[in-house]
Amino acid sequence: MNNKTERERWNAGIDSEVPVRADAAQSILHELASEALTEKRRARRWGIFFKLAMLALVAGVLAAWLYGSQLLAPPIGEHTAVIDLNGIIAADAAVNADDTIDALQDALSDGRTKAVLLNINSPGGSPVQSGIIFDEILRLRSRYPDIPIYSVLADVCASGGYYIASATDKIFADKASIVGSIGVRMDSFGFTEALDKLGVERRLLTAGENKAMLDPFLPEDESHKEHMQNMLDTIHRQFIDAVKKGRGERLADDERLFSGMFWSGEQALELGLVDQLANAREVARDVVGAENRVNFTRHEGLAEKLMGQISLSLKRVVLAFESGLIH
């Protein structure tokens, strides 16, 4: 009787306790697996973060070295400083007043600079930016009288490009360079007849009788046209005065000079718009006497580009973490 009871108890224990133990073990295994998965995801996140941080550090050091090596490891002896002015002149363009002036100050304050060459290849652009650079060149010439500032013209030096060049001590050009275009222009269109043919009605609300000046969808207003012409004439006069101030008696007595006409470098030499036919290498070697040239151009270099890309990548990773896209 007792043995039977023990057997029944034993059997009952097997039947009741085994499922309980199996459920407990399964629950523990599930928790362990979940914690392991969570820890793995956490390690993965930190792994990605530290890899990106290390990449940013290495890229930053490399970029800074590449960007600054030219200035950190200056050449032995005297050199000719070069500043490139390539493209349209505008506040938001590669050639602008701030970068150009900073580059000039860097070049002139370097104790090894024997002369500065403005390597100009520009069709022109903003008269404001050109005028600011012109005034600053004159100021720096008086501040650093022993360091000449020359302009070397490449394919094109027209309009605002020549505005800047006229402020320098001397202007050199290739015989085939395009030089001049001392003038001011403003472009517009008129679509009034096109609107009539298409049957489109122009609707415009303004506060101020001159707010819609030069609207291409309205008939031309003579008073507006006269006002704009006076403004262009004023800016043109400023341009002419600057060129005369910079070039002085070297300019030929030719009424075409300020008509907006342009010439080859060879013709410009005869008109007094340039002083000599020579390229940058020749000027550095034969005129300055310092053939070794160092570029001081200010622009968005490799360091800025890399750091910008790295910063953008890190921001994307942080947003991905926050949004749960990376677990």
Phi and psi based region of residue 204 (left: phi greater than 0; alpha: psi -120 to 50; beta: remaining): beta
Residue % of the chain over a pLDDT of 90: 54
- pLDDT on residue 302: 46
313 among known catalytic residues: no
For residue 271, tell me if it sits in a domain: yes
Q: Are residues 9 and 131 in the same domain?
A: no
Between 144 and 24, residue with greater pLDDT: 144
Q: Are residues 20 and 166 in the same domain?
A: no
The residue range of the domain holding 144 is 77-186+221-291
Q: Are residues 58 and 101 in the same domain?
A: no
211 among known catalytic residues: yes
Q: Are residues 177 and 284 in the same domain?
A: yes
- What's the pTM? 0.70
How many angstroms separate the Cα of 238 from the Cα of each of 134, 165, 241, 314? 12, 15, 5, 49
Tens digit of each residue's pLDDT (9 = 90 or more) over 59-114: 655 555 555 544 444 456 799 999 999 999 999 999 999 999 999 999 999 999 99
Question: What integer is the mean pLDDT of 116-139?
Answer: 97
Q: Are residues 16 and 35 in the same domain?
A: yes
Tens digit of each residue's pLDDT (9 = 90 or more) over 222-260: 888 899 899 999 999 999 999 999 999 999 999 899 999
For residue 264, tell me if it sits in a domain: yes
In whole numbers, what is the pLDDT of the chain averaged over residues?
82
Burial class (CB in 10 A: 0-12, 13-18, 19+), 324: exposed
Count, in order, helices (H) and strands (E) of the chain: 9, 8
What's the rounded Cα separation, in Å, for the pair 221 and 213? Answer: 8
Tokens of 244: 């005369």
Q: Are residues 182 and 150 in the same domain?
A: yes
122, 151, 159, 177: the catalytic one is 159
Q: In this structure, are strands 170-173 and 149-158 parallel, antiparallel, or unpaired?
A: parallel
CATH label of the domain that carries residue 255: 3.90.226.10
Tens digit of each residue's pLDDT (9 = 90 or more) over 140-194: 999 999 999 999 999 999 999 999 999 999 999 999 999 999 999 888 777 777 7
Return the closest-CA partner of residue 303 out of 58, 99, 67. Answer: 67
Q: Are residues 27 and 175 in the same domain?
A: no
Q: Are residues 87 and 144 in the same domain?
A: yes
Whose tokens are 């000039």? That residue is 104
What's the rounded Cα separation, in Å, for the pair 176 and 277? Answer: 10
Q: Are residues 256 and 171 in the same domain?
A: yes
Count the domains in the chain: 2
Q: Are residues 52 and 81 in the same domain?
A: no
51, 211, 245, 315: the catalytic one is 211
